Amino acid sequence: MCGVVGFWAEAKLEGQSEMVQAMADRLAYRGPDDVGTWADAELGVALGHRRLSIIDLSPAGHQPMTSPCGRLTLAYNGEIYNHLNLRAELEREGGHFNWRGQSDTETLLAALRHWGIIGTLERANGMFAFALWDRGTRQLCLARDRMGEKPLYYGRSRSTFLFGSELKALTVHPQWQGVVNRNALTLYLRHNYIPAPWSIYQGICKLPPAHFVVVGNNGADIGEPQCYWNLAAVAETGVAASADAGDSQMLADELDGLLRDAVGRRMAADVPLGAFLSGGYDSTMVVAQMQAQSTRPVKTFTIGFHETDYNEAKHAKAVADHLGTDHTELYVTPTEAMAVIPELPTIWDEPFSDSSQIPTYLVSRLARQQVTVSLSGDGGDELFCGYNRYVLGYRIWCKFSYLPAGIRKILSFILARIPVGRLEQVMGLLPRRLQIPHLGDRLPKLAEVLGHQNGEAFYRNLVSHWKSPAEIVIGSREPETLLGNSAQYPNLPGLRERMMYLDAMTYLPDDILTKVDRASMAVSLEARVPLLDHRVVEFAWRVPTALKYRGGQGKWLLREVLYRYVPRELMDRPKMGFGVPIEHWLRGPLREWAEDLLDENRLRHEGFFDPAPIRRMWNEHVSGQRRWHYYLWDVLMFQAWLEEESSITCRIDASSLSRTAALH
């Protein structure tokens, strides 16, 4: 696992190697073991790399790496799990390869030289983001893995094309001019993350998963991203074939074998390896498959909380005891968890407000004390129907969608206008057995459900925080995304399938995988995600929905495979999210911090948000009238990021002045 950076300037710049070195050094934690730079002074192009050594720890894996012919230069972040198979295939096809070492970087570079971009990307099984400079064509190619496990930002600032694994690397370049994209800010308020291809800065994009982009003409010509693996086509083809997929036993056997291979490939490392274990189905499946292939106890790691509603550690411990892993758990106090909050803007680099980022960082930090690579169970929910919205949410929509649209609209109008504050007061006078918890929150949500015209709009509402974010962000217009453009949806049989597809295209790469990448990389830990092996993804879409959702529960087929390794009674319990009690912290120990960031005069001076609705929510939340913590956390994380971004800009400006003075 590593970090890549680089630039291509229209005008020749002095000190190119020093510039790209500074960019790479901003990502030192992504690759603390080695640093490398490469530059073509005449053409104004430079690549930089930070290395976390995992496979072939020798200098033979040093990057940027240039092909023996001198034509191609590669800076690459990630792992190609089938790279030895690719080496064998290259040799069978008659290529003459004088391998210098055993690194997958060397394999990838040879493959790109032999098969080209598309041929290599179609063959590679891995997680990656890379930059390839072709001296012959004078083109720069950027590419990203199929599911979006590894990040890559790119775009122009002034007269220079910039790219990097994280935004903070771009901000070091002297040509950097970061301007907040207010339209992207509306998307952030809706989703608690900024979806690809947008970033928080104008002119800077995220490369979408399963795409590559070609850049030419001194970085002035940026092509349209090209797709090399289409999840929509995978979903359509899989669903069409699901009727003939076979019986449940045969599919369970196939899934078991696929997972065994996917996990086994991700256990290859020349450094200590372990796994995150929450005790849920996905992480337990990964650890069970690891232990089945290991001759020694697998190292597993869990974070626990003393608050019962947020603690999964006891379940993880029971699973670890059954599987016989070498288990480490750490119970974290609220003070220890909240101590992470000041670091979040720097770690996530652009506004990001999924509060499970806190325990994800903590468990990564815990694991890094013993291992350099950790496997994670992410992806199972999107592939095998695990989220509550596929079960309870789908059931609610089906019940209310039978009502005529006119009646739904009237009911929505009435429910939205019930004075919830007064209703909560009345509810408090009733005996406890007759009280409905959080009725003031539930009635408005029910009104929203009733007001939607179709299932897609209902789903979009479910995954939205702020429902009309352009009304909050001053001078903005919310861009259309995949969630609002049904013309781009594949031909799938029902709402449940469309929800799983949309989550895999948006929430999974832009929230879940972003969270895991930043949290793990912040402590120089490589996180690998076996369930997102593209062969498992393609298989999952061939599984009939009736074998994913059965008996009122999701993940049926995955569960059946897991029960081959772990007793059913050990696993059958309600699903618990990986979260922290932000709701209570904002009313208690975080109140003063939040009050400062949400100060009305401050909001008005900064000019991004309309203070009135934010202050109303804050006052209602603090008083206990309503639970607005999700909405408020979005604003707070932007405010904290903005504060950090301003201080970084000042430091960079000062550093730039020093470098300029030194050059003269």
Contact (Cβ atoms closer than 8 angstroms) between residue 235 and residue 490: yes
- The torsion angle over the Cα atoms of residues 388, 392, 396 and 397, rounded to 10 degrees, is 50
| ∠ Cα 274 575 380 (to 5°) | 55
The verdict on residue 178 lying in a domain is: yes
Statement to judge: residues 103 and 118 lie in one domain: yes
Q: According to DSSP H, which parts of 266-351 are helical?
A: 281-292, 313-323, 334-338, 344-348
- Return the pLDDT at 439: 52
pLDDT tens readout for residues 134-157: 999 999 999 999 999 999 999 999
**Do 255 and 369 belong together in one domain?**
yes
The 10s digit of each residue's pLDDT in 592-601 is 999 999 999 9
- Whether cis (ω within 30° of 0) applies to the bond prior to 479 is no
Judge if 486 and 609 occupy the same domain. Answer: no
Tokens of 280: 């849920």
Which carries the bigger pLDDT value, residue 424 or residue 597?
597
450, part of any domain: yes
Give one DSSP letter per residue of 398-409, joined into a string.
HHHHTS-HHHHH
- At 400, is the pLDDT very low, low, confident or very high (cuts 50, 70, 90)? confident
pLDDT for 654 beyond 60: no
Residue with tokens 């005008």: 11
In this structure, the answer to whether residues 530 and 592 fall within a common structural domain is no
Q: What is the pLDDT confidence band of residue 577, given thresholds at 50, 70 and 90?
A: low
Domain assignment present for 81: yes
Check whether residue 375 and residue 315 sit in a common domain.
yes
Judge if 171 and 69 occupy the same domain: yes
200 and 167 belong to one structural domain: yes
Per-residue pLDDT at 12: 73
348 shares a domain with 237 = yes
Of residues 326, 620, 640, 251, the one with CA closest to residue 444: 620
Kindly give the residue spans of alpha helices, DSSP state H, lying in 61-160.
83-92, 104-123
- Report residue 650 as tokens: 């000042």
Q: Is residue 199 part of a domain?
A: yes
Cβ atoms within 10 Å of 234's Cβ, excluding its own: 21
Asked if the model's pLDDT at residue 579 lies above 90, the reply is no
How big is the CA angle at 253 (ends 252 and 257), to the nearest 5 degrees? 115
Name the least confident of 205-219, 431-445, 505-519, 571-585: 431-445
Same structural domain, 458 and 548: no
Domain end, chosen from 549, 571, 593, is at 571
Q: Which residues participate in catalysis according to the annotation? A: 2
Q: Where are the alpha helices (DSSP H) in 402-438?
A: 405-416, 420-429
User: Domain with 313 in it: what CATH number?
Assistant: 3.40.50.620
Residue 238 shares a structural domain with residue 196:
no
* pLDDT tier at 53, thresholds 50, 70, 90: confident
Cα–Cα distance for residue pair 60/100, rounded to 1 Å: 6
Considering its fold, how many domains does the chain have in total?
Answer: 4
Whether residue 476 is contained in a domain is answered as: yes
- Inform me whether the pLDDT recorded for 551 exceeds 60: yes
Stated pTM of the model: 0.92
Residue 576 within a domain: no
- List 160's β-bridge partners, or say none: 9, 157
In a domain, 305, yes or no: yes
Q: What pLDDT sits at residue 441?
A: 61
Q: Do 457 and 407 belong together in one domain?
A: yes
**514 with 632, same domain?**
no
pLDDT confidence of residue 663: 38
What proportion of the chain, given as a percentage, has pLDDT over 90? 75
Q: Which of 471, 495, 519 is the last residue of a domain?
A: 495
Residue with tokens 């707070």: 636
- Examine residue 577 and state whether it is found in any structural domain, yes or no: no
Task: State the average pLDDT over residues 91-117.
Answer: 91
Structural domain of residue 645, as residue ranges?
Answer: 582-663
Residue that finishes a domain, picked among 204, 229, 254: 229
pLDDT digits (tens, 9 = 90+) for 158-188: 999 999 999 999 999 999 999 999 999 999 9
Q: What gap in Å lies between CA 463 and CA 481, rounded to an integer?
A: 13
